[in-house]
Structure 1
Amino acid sequence: MKAPLRTLAELVRAPAALSVPGDVIAGAAAAGTLGRRTAGLAGASVCLYWAGMAANDWADRDLDAVERPERPIPSGRIPAPAALGVAAGLTAAGLTLAARAGGARALAVAVPLAAAVWAYDLRAKNTAAGPVGMALCRGLDVLLGASAGDPVRAMPAALVVAAHTYTVTELSRREVSGIAGPALPTATLAATAGLAAAVAARGNASAAMLAGEYLTSYGRAQARLLTGAPTAGGTGPLRTPGTVPEAGAGAASPAGPAAVRAAVGAGITALPSLQGALTARAGRTWLGAAVAAVAPLGRLLARKISPT
Structure 2
Amino acid sequence: MTSTASPPLASVDRDATPAPPAADGTPPPGTQDRAAAWAELVRLPALFTVPGDTLAGVAAAGGRAGARTLLPIGSSLCLYAAGMVLNDWADRAEDAEERPHRPLPSGRIRPAAALTAACGLTGAGLLLAARAGRPALAVAAPLAATVWAYDLALKHTPAGPAAMAAARGLDLLMGAAAAGSAKAAVPSAALLGCHTLAVTTVSRRETTGGSAAAPLAALAATGVLTRLVTHRRVRLPAGRGGASAPRR
TM over 0.5: same fold?
yes
Question: Which residue is equivalent to 1:143?
Answer: 173
For 1:108-187, list aligned pairs within 5 A.
108-148=138-178, 149-174=180-205, 178-183=207-212, 184-187=214-217
Q: In structure 2, which of residues 109, 124, 127 is the aligned counterpart of residue 96 of structure 1? A: 127
Question: Which residue is equivalent to 2:93?
Answer: 62
Aligned CA distance change for structure 1 residues 196 and 106 (closer, same or farther; 3 Å)? closer
| Deviation per residue, 1:107-131 (Å, 9 max, x gap) | 1111111111101111111111000
Distance in 2 between the 1:173 and 1:78 partners?
29
| Structure 1 unpaired stretches of 5+ | 205-308
Task: Give the counterpart letter for 2:97 in structure 1.
Answer: V
Distance in 2 between the 1:116 and 1:133 partners?
6
CA-based RMSD: 2.5
Q: In structure 1, which of residues 105, 110, 127 is the aligned counterpart of residue 135 of structure 2? A: 105
| Structure 2 unpaired stretches of 5+ | 1-13, 15-30, 235-248
Higher Rg = 2
For 1:1-308, list aligned pairs within 5 A.
4-34=34-64, 35-100=66-131, 102-148=132-178, 149-174=180-205, 178-183=207-212, 184-191=214-221
Distance in 2 between the 1:202 and 1:112 partners?
27
Contact 2:86 2:114 in 1 (8 A): yes
Distance in 1 between the 2:62 and 2:53 partners?
14
Question: Which residue is equivalent to 1:287?
Answer: none
Distance in 1 between the 2:149 and 2:226 partners?
30
Aligned CA distance change for structure 1 residues 50 and 160 (closer, same or farther; 3 Å)? same
Which has more helix, going by share of residues?
Answer: 1
How many residue pairs align between the two structures? 201
Identical positions, percent: 57
Question: Which residue is equivalent to 2:5?
Answer: none
Distance in 2 between the 1:164 and 1:137 partners?
12
Contact 2:165 2:193 in 1 (8 A): yes
CA drift at 1:59: 0.8
Distance in 2 between the 1:80 and 1:117 partners?
18
Distance in 2 between the 1:93 and 1:108 partners?
15
Aligned CA distance change for structure 1 residues 195 and 9 (closer, same or farther; 3 Å)? farther
Question: Which residue is equivalent to 1:278?
Answer: none
Task: Give the counterpart letter for 1:162 in structure 2.
Answer: G
Mean Cα displacement is larger for which, 140-149 or 179-188? 179-188
Partner SS, residue 126 of structure 1: coil
Distance in 1 between the 2:110 and 2:54 partners?
32
Partner SS, residue 147 of structure 1: helix
Task: Give the counterpart letter for 2:144 in structure 1.
Answer: A
Distance in 1 between the 2:203 and 2:43 partners?
15
Partner SS, residue 40 of structure 2: helix
| Deviation per residue, 1:229-280 (Å, 9 max, x gap) | xxxxxxxxxxxxxxxxxxxxxxxxxxxxxxxxxxxxxxxxxxxxxxxxxxxx
Distance in 1 between the 2:36 and 2:223 partners?
36
